[in-house]
Amino acid sequence: MGYIEELGKKAVQAKGKIASASTDEKNAVLVKIAEVLRNHTEKILQENDKDIASARENGITETMVDRLRLTEERIEGIADACIQLVNLEDPVGEILEGSVRPNGMRITKVRVPLGVAGIIYESRPNVTVDAAALCIKSGNAAILRGGKEAIHSNMVLMELMQQALKECGFAGETVQLVGDTSREVAAEMMRANDYIDVLIPRGGAGLIQAIVKNATVPVIETGTGNCHLYVDETAELSMAVSIADNGKTQRPSVCNALETCLVHQSAAKEFLPMLAEAFEAHQVEIRGCDRTREILGAGVMLATEEDYATEFLDYIMSVKVVDSIEEAIEHIRKYSTGHSECIVTSNYSHAEQFQKEVDSACVYVNCSTRFTDGGEFGLGAEIGISTQKLHVRGPMGLRELTTQKYLINGNGQIR
């Protein structure tokens, strides 16, 4: 029996109980997970230190190391996210619609769990708990495959969550970690149609595209984030600088961070020096077009087509001066990954045009793209940001981990 097949059989056996569990029973598991995480913070940090040390030995950049790092504050945040899910409405069993047919049959559409969710992700160990907790609350079993760089952190987190499940009367295998991080086992997981109902990748473009192209299990494509800010000719420039600075520097290694700033030519001479000054505190490297360099000086690297297409995940931003909102929208259409885009403007018709014509999962007016997040949207922890259009789009919370089925009740009707 293959490794993934073994995990898959255990997940299939476990999914029935979690799918039929009451809201109170599922919430009790989440409360227990939060409790054991808090009680074992020191143990988690010890294992995380091993991953951090290994990452540095392997030459991983500090921004990527930050994705790996757990602190007491971050562990507390992970535990808090579990409690936030407790306080959210359980989508399972929700009646979506119903009707009575002319022959007397009653048809009801209800939300039900997807079944077994497979999640393949990189770096951030908080995803291990976020994904497991979301699956538990939405009545799904889960098989999680994190990256090798976070294996020690992920293993201890999974051990603690399985302990919590058992203490609450559920099979520990309701959530499982793929301990073998080899590509061969990942490929096996992508083809485990008999056991996994949906596959959700979280990570860089290479990982996501490899899964989309090679998986036979249905995939929900999530978020590479080449996110854009357009500073309109009517923008309040201090607001635009604040939004750009927050979007780029608060946490540059995440998918909702800004990568490109487009600025209207009539605002560029005043705005770009303000932006460069704000970026100095974080030593953000600006790569700009010829007009950007005319304003900021030849010390700014000339941006290439590749730069405009790149999700840097670092303290780098590409900049382009444009002549119109139409040119900005066209640039976004060409280079966007469909994640999050923002316009800063005081012109209502421009705001409306931008939101209508930009085809991304989240389109902002006068606020930071860093809000593209399940917690910030009131969804609780998220399992990812979907950049596709089927079956969900945008931040994926509890409802996005369900499907539907029809319940039909009659009294002898035949066709």
221-230 confidence digits (pLDDT tens): 887 899 999 9
- Confidence band (pLDDT; 50, 70, 90) for 268? very high
Provide the b/e sequence for 48-71 (b: ≥16 CB within 10 Å).
Answer: beebbebbeeeebeeebbebbbbe
pTM greater than 0.75: yes
Instruction: Report the pLDDT averaged over residues 108-132.
Output: 94
- Give the Cα separation of 107 and 307 in Å (integer): 53
Q: Note the residue count of the chain.
A: 415
Sheet with 141-145: list strands edge to edge. 175-177, 141-145, 116-121, 198-202
User: Who wins on pLDDT, 253 or 38?
Assistant: 38
**Is the alpha carbon torsion for 15, 16, 19, 23 positive or negative?**
negative
Determine the pLDDT at residue 307.
98
Q: Is the pLDDT of residue 1 over 80?
A: no
Determine the pLDDT at residue 67.
84
- Average pLDDT over all residues of the chain: 95
163-167, 321-325, 372-376: least confidently modelled range = 372-376
Pick from 229, 226, 222, 233: nearest CA to 200 = 222
Q: Is the pLDDT of residue 192 over 90?
A: yes
Determine the pLDDT at residue 201.
92
Pick from 170, 136, 112: nearest CA to 26 = 136
Determine the pLDDT at residue 123.
72
Encoded amino acid at 314, one letter: D
Percentage of residues in the chain having pLDDT higher than 90: 88
State pLDDT tens for residues 39-80: 999 999 999 999 999 999 988 888 788 889 999 999 999 999
CB of 49 within 8 A of CB of 97?
no
Determine the pLDDT at residue 390.
85
**Residue reference for tokens 């939300």:** 111
State pLDDT tens for residues 387-406: 988 889 999 999 999 999 99
Q: What is the DSSP annotation of 142-158? A: EEEE--GGGHHHHHHHH
- Give the Cα separation of 346 and 339 in Å (integer): 23
User: Who wins on pLDDT, 209 or 304?
Assistant: 304
Percentage of residues in the chain having pLDDT higher than 70: 100
Determine the pLDDT at residue 303.
97
207-213: Cβ within 8 A, 24+ apart: 207/120, 207/122, 211/120
Pick from 338, 204, 334, 360: nearest CA to 262 = 334
Counting beta carbons within 10 angstroms of the beta carbon of residue 268, is it exposed (0 to 12), middle (13 to 18) or buried (19 or more)? buried
State pLDDT tens for residues 134-158: 999 999 999 999 999 999 999 999 9
Determine the pLDDT at residue 389.
87
**Is the alpha carbon torsion for 19, 21, 23, 25 positive or negative?**
negative
Helical pair 237-249 and 265-280, crossing angle rounded to 10 deg: 50
Determine the pLDDT at residue 124.
85
Determine the pLDDT at residue 61.
84
- Confidence band (pLDDT; 50, 70, 90) for 379? confident
